[in-house]
Structure 1
Amino acid sequence: MIYPIVAYGDPVLRKVTRPLEKDEMDLKKLADDMFETMYSASGVGLAAPQVGLNVRIFVVDGTPLNEGEEEEDIDPTVVDFKKVFINPQILHEEGDEWPFEEGCLSIPGIRGDVYRPERLRIRYRDLDWNEIEEAYEGMAARIIQHEYDHLQGKLFTDYLPTLKRQLLKKKLSDIAKGQVDVSYRMRFPSRR
């Protein structure tokens, strides 16, 4: 099932999510639906608040980032990087902060440079409820950090310089009102 993606301005995007219990819902079905929704919008990550759910789960698939790349340009951090993170907790981040122009399915048409640490260590549960602790770096770490922020009620625009945020106010307001052209289904806060 493809969910509509929640647009900027919806309060669910600003809430800290609650942990999931092992058997409270069909997590495999939810993850499959989230992947389907993400792929239909050409994304590489999707967090539960973006489909209107206030729970701690996100899905990622960085594989499309390497499509069409020459072998020497392939990013090894996202090769076979398709995962489900349930109840994740970033344990620590380290390394130099590096910029990358990020975007978000909930904030279509807006992009901006965000500085994030290059490495992280995260603990989470997989779909079989196994607890896993892993380290990531580079683009894989960035995708995790972006989606994890959604679980914390943060958006990539929060990291932009004040002046840039001021300049984006009208565009963000238009998105919240549904005055944006997108190729995927969205749910707008002003159209409830």
Structure 2
Amino acid sequence: MPDRPIRLFGDPVLRSPSDPVKLPADERVRALVTDLVDSVKVPGRAGVAAPQIGVGQRVFSYNVDGEVGYVINPELVEVGGEPELVEEGCLSVPGFYFPRRRYPYAKVRGVDVDGNAIEVEGTGVLAQALQHETDHLDGKLYIEGLDPEVKRDAMRQVRAADWFRR
């Protein structure tokens, strides 16, 4: 399947906590996972959460350093190190990158489409993606976690963007 269009800032699905996927996964969930994996394979993408393609289910895909995968019902179970300022962007807030504090290590636990337990952990960009995509599933966008002064400027810039829908 081709990659799905990405929902943009202002779309209510991005602000709503996602529903857990009921297991065992049915064909709709398998199709969703396929769509997420296809969508994250587009060059320049590190992760895509189901709400970003308009589906309020707790699933995301990732693509970091050639490692492509997905997690159903992920829970962020561990972070480590001192939070660091990293430049972060989001497909749902296209064209912008802002400094955001993220832990340099993260681990998520969830399941695959067959209900088997899986764990994904990493440092650097993978840790950032795991935190970012889990936030999406909780109905949070990365700009919410910006330092207050940066957030004010970021919101001003986003509202002035050509794609921003009022």
Q: TM-score, normalised by structure 1?
A: 0.76
Report 1:46-65 matches (<5 A). 46-63=48-65
How far apart are residue 106 of structure 1 and its match?
0.4
The answer to which structure, 1 or 2, has the higher relative contact order (CA under 8 A, 6+ apart) is 1
Which 5+ residue runs of structure 1 have no aligned equivalent? 64-79, 181-187
How far apart are residue 171 of structure 1 and its match?
3.0
Q: How many residues are matched?
A: 164
> What residue in structure 2 maps to residue 95 of structure 1?
81
Which protein shows a greater Rg? 1
Contact 1:123 1:133 in 2 (8 A): yes
Inter-CA distance 36–126: structure 2 relative to 1 (3 Å threshold): same
Task: Tell me if 1:158 matches 2:150.
Answer: no
> What residue in structure 1 maps to residue 28 of structure 2?
26
Please give the alpha-carbon distance, in whole angstroms, between the structure 1 residues aligned to 2:79 and 2:44: 27
Q: CA RMSD in A?
A: 2.0
Q: TM-score, normalised by structure 2?
A: 0.87
Higher strand share: 2
Report 1:96-175 matches (<5 A). 96-175=82-161
How far apart are residue 41 of structure 1 and its match?
6.5
> What residue in structure 1 maps to residue 5 of structure 2?
4
How far apart are residue 24 of structure 1 and its match?
4.0
Which 5+ residue runs of structure 2 have no aligned equivalent? none
Higher helix share: 1
How far apart are residue 134 of structure 1 and its match?
4.5
> What residue in structure 1 maps to residue 17 of structure 2?
16
Identity among equivalent pairs (%): 31
Please give the alpha-carbon distance, in whole angstroms, between the structure 2 residues aligned to 1:102 and 1:34: 20
Please give the alpha-carbon distance, in whole angstroms, between the structure 2 residues aligned to 1:121 and 1:17: 19
